[in-house]
Amino acid sequence: MRNTDFDREIAVFARRQHGVFHTRQARTVGGSAAILRNRAANGAILQMAPKVWAVAGHPATWRRQYKAAELSVTGGTLADQSAGLVHGLEGSRIVRPKLVITSEVNRRSPLADVRRASDVDVTTVEGIRVTTVAQTLFDLLRCCEITTVERALDGALIGGSVTVAELVDLGERVGRLRPRHLVTWRALMEERSDQAVAVADSVLELALHRALRPLSQKVHLEYQWTPPWWKARRRRVDAYIPEWRLIIEADGRRWHTRVADFERDRSRDNTAAAHGHRVLRFTHACLTERSTDVVALVSEAGACTEATLRRAV
């Protein structure tokens, strides 16, 4: 095989893999060690890690970096926050690649952090080997705040990239291994299943009053307030702070199982924003288990509004 044939064949690999390839792939198309050294010397390819190369001229994107990291460890799979970015989960951002392997052999990579697991669910997205959406969401409990996981989880459910049934199935399969965060995972699934029990309005109101009580000494709180822009005057919001132009709503369930419920709330929030108001939504669990965080977030929103009003004067 002529060298030009090698260049042409390796370019095919590169196009499929965001500009990178592995030495073993090069060998399948006649790429000897001498040829690779020659191409590296004349700048046609760049070595990113032992046995991992990038074709010069391809954009140095995060996908190239992540694919190179995956190739750098035999049997490696992108996981955790790295996998979240590949799947496009809400709240994802570019981080140092994280790999998971099922091999008992200790492996390291200059391009990624590597951890071991007894078993993982794997798929391929845009040519990158990555944990499945369900597996990724479960693994995020290892490294992210619960609020970050919930945001990604609800976005994936509403977007249709995963179902509650798939998430429950994963929890049942990994349950025999008794992993950390299994209790939290099962609680998240229970709240999002069709069998989840809605909290009674009276219980929800009481929880909201108790959570917001520390704010009553610094701002005026109105409960069951009707926004003037609502055509249906009988409908009300749960709480309102006039001086902060802030509406506070309490949800009896953490997640709406019907997309129509989500769209209704989104429409109401957008209408409030159009009239210069912010909306904060809190679940019953949040109001009762993390009331300090609720007060802090409401206060932070109020401080932002005050700062905006001062700048406008």
**Per-residue model confidence as pLDDT tens digits over 7-58:** 999 999 899 999 999 999 999 999 999 999 999 999 999 999 999 999 998 9
Half-sphere exposure in the Cβ direction for 129 (13 Å, CA): 16
Percent helix / strand / coil, the chain, rounded to 5: 50, 15, 35
Cα pseudo-dihedral 8, 12, 15, 21, rounded to 10: -90
The region of weakest confidence among 65-69, 149-153, 182-186, 246-250 is 182-186
Q: CA 301 to CA 311: how far, in whole Å?
A: 16
Strand partners, 247: 240, 279
pLDDT (tens digit, 9 = 90+) per residue, 216-258? Answer: 989 999 999 988 887 665 578 899 999 999 999 987 665 554 5
Q: What is the mean pLDDT of residues 191-216?
A: 82
CA pseudo-torsion sign 239, 296, 285, 189: positive
Q: What is the mean pLDDT of residues 73-86?
A: 97
pLDDT (tens digit, 9 = 90+) per residue, 284-304? Answer: 878 888 899 899 999 999 999
Output DSSP code: residue 196: P
pTM over 0.85: no
Quickly state the pLDDT bin for 79 (edges 50, 70, 90): very high
Nearest to residue 259, comparing CAs of 136, 115, 159, 122? 159
Q: How far, in Å, are 56, 222, 291, 308, 310 from residue 305 at the CA level? A: 49, 18, 21, 5, 9
Determine the CATH number of domain 3-59.
1.10.10
Quickly state the pLDDT bin for 88 (edges 50, 70, 90): very high
* The pLDDT of residue 228: 85
> Hey, what are 271's tokens?
């209408």
Q: CA 107 to CA 112: how far, in whole Å?
A: 11
227: helix, strand or coil: coil
Q: Are strands 246-251 and 278-283 parallel, antiparallel or unpaired?
A: parallel
pLDDT (tens digit, 9 = 90+) per residue, 95-152? Answer: 999 999 998 777 899 999 999 998 899 999 999 999 999 999 999 999 998 889 988 9
Q: Is 50 exceeded by the pLDDT of residue 305? A: yes
**CATH 3.90.550.10 assigned to 201-312:** no
Q: CA 254 to CA 256: how far, in whole Å?
A: 7
Domain ranges of the chain: 3-59, 64-192, 201-312
Listed in order, strand segments (DSSP E) in 126-251 are: 128-131, 222-225, 237-241, 246-251
* The pLDDT of residue 262: 62
* The pLDDT of residue 1: 43
* The pLDDT of residue 251: 78
* The pLDDT of residue 298: 95
